[in-house]
Amino acid sequence: MSMGNSQPDNNSSSQQQQQQQQEHDDIERQQKKVQQQKESSGRNRQPYIFILNENSSLLQDKNNKDDDNNTSNTYRESSSCSSSSSSDDKTSFWSFAINFWNWYDRQLRENPVITKSLTASIIVSMGDFCGQYIEHRRNPNEEEYDLARIGRFFLLGGILQAPVTHYYFAALDAKFPPKLNNPWTSTTFLKLAIDQLLFAPTFTLVLFFFLDTLQCKSWDYQLHHLEDEYSRTMIDNWKLWIPAVLLNFAFCPPKLRVLYNNVIFFVWSICLSLLLDTTTPTTTTTTDHSNR
């Protein structure tokens, strides 16, 4: 009986040893397999060096000197990286532009008057700067840039133009609501007539006194200046502003009317510099006379 029982016990113990040995072998094989995979991935992985080309775009140059095949692979990878870098630059530019516009649109909603005033100050003063630049190109003997005149345009845009046009357009659109789905309506042309026959002459009159006062001109000078230049300024005004204002009322969203107005004023400032003589002391301030 004792010998019969010992034989099954020996068989069971040998089976357990075989199972343990098999499990141990399986673990070693898995470890070897993982190690081989790591070594294989390490051999395939090559260091990358980022360099700048003549266009300041990043090139991915693979540090590989093994053979000609690897060299050709490096060229293809470099070309691919260059094109992807150029695409990334374009994407980043448009992302910046979109983010900036979203920020500006939010400022228009939260601080409309301040935002429009600062925008007008920058655009209007830069318009006068460009006008003076063209004057200097036409007349090389012209003296240095008139910074005081640029400053007057800066104040004109921020203190007078943007706040006045902001409330003016708001009141006009409230009285005559725009119809963007059908811009060519009688309402559009009615608003154009109000703007150019009532608002523009009045606003231009105020501009004459505003700019001359900033120059500390006497009252008699301002009256004579108005008499000499007001009619010609209004004629030049209508040539530019009638079609510009018509497009503004027909297609521009109400919250962007002042911004559109500032862009047209940028062109208007340059036109005045070319149309009017600013070389003599008696007509120096003529370029400051404008509609917007």
pLDDT score recorded for residue 5: 53
d(CA 41, CA 43): 5
d(CA 284, CA 212): 11
Pair (208, 129) in one structural domain: yes
Residue 14 lies in a domain: no
Pair (190, 253) in one structural domain: yes
End-to-end CA distance of the chain: 121
Pair (231, 189) in one structural domain: yes
Q: What is the DSSP letter of 58?
A: E
d(CA 161, CA 159): 6
State the residue range of the domain holding 79: 29-101
Residue 67 lies in a domain: yes
Q: What is the DSSP letter of 243?
A: H
Pair (272, 170) in one structural domain: yes
Residue 18 lies in a domain: no
Pair (116, 48) in one structural domain: no
Pair (213, 130) in one structural domain: yes
Pair (59, 117) in one structural domain: no
Instruction: Give the pLDDT of the chain (292 residues) as one tens digit per residue.
Output: 445 555 555 566 677 777 777 777 777 787 777 777 666 655 554 443 333 343 433 344 444 444 555 555 554 555 555 555 566 677 788 888 889 889 988 998 999 999 999 999 999 899 888 888 888 887 777 677 888 888 988 998 899 989 999 999 999 999 999 887 888 899 999 999 999 999 999 998 998 899 889 989 999 999 998 888 889 889 989 999 999 999 999 999 888 999 999 899 888 777 765 554 443 344 444 434 444 4
Total domain count for the chain?
2
Pair (116, 238) in one structural domain: yes
269 and 127 in contact (C-beta within 8 Å)? yes
Residue 63 lies in a domain: yes
pLDDT score recorded for residue 284: 41
Pair (79, 115) in one structural domain: no
- Tokens for 89, please give them: 């630059």
207 and 225 in contact (C-beta within 8 Å)? no
Residue 180 lies in a domain: yes
d(CA 31, CA 216): 91
Pair (77, 117) in one structural domain: no
pLDDT score recorded for residue 76: 56
Amino acid at 285: T
Pair (70, 35) in one structural domain: yes
Closest listed residue to residue 232, CA positions, set 195, 204, 192 = 204
Residue 138 lies in a domain: yes
d(CA 64, CA 44): 11
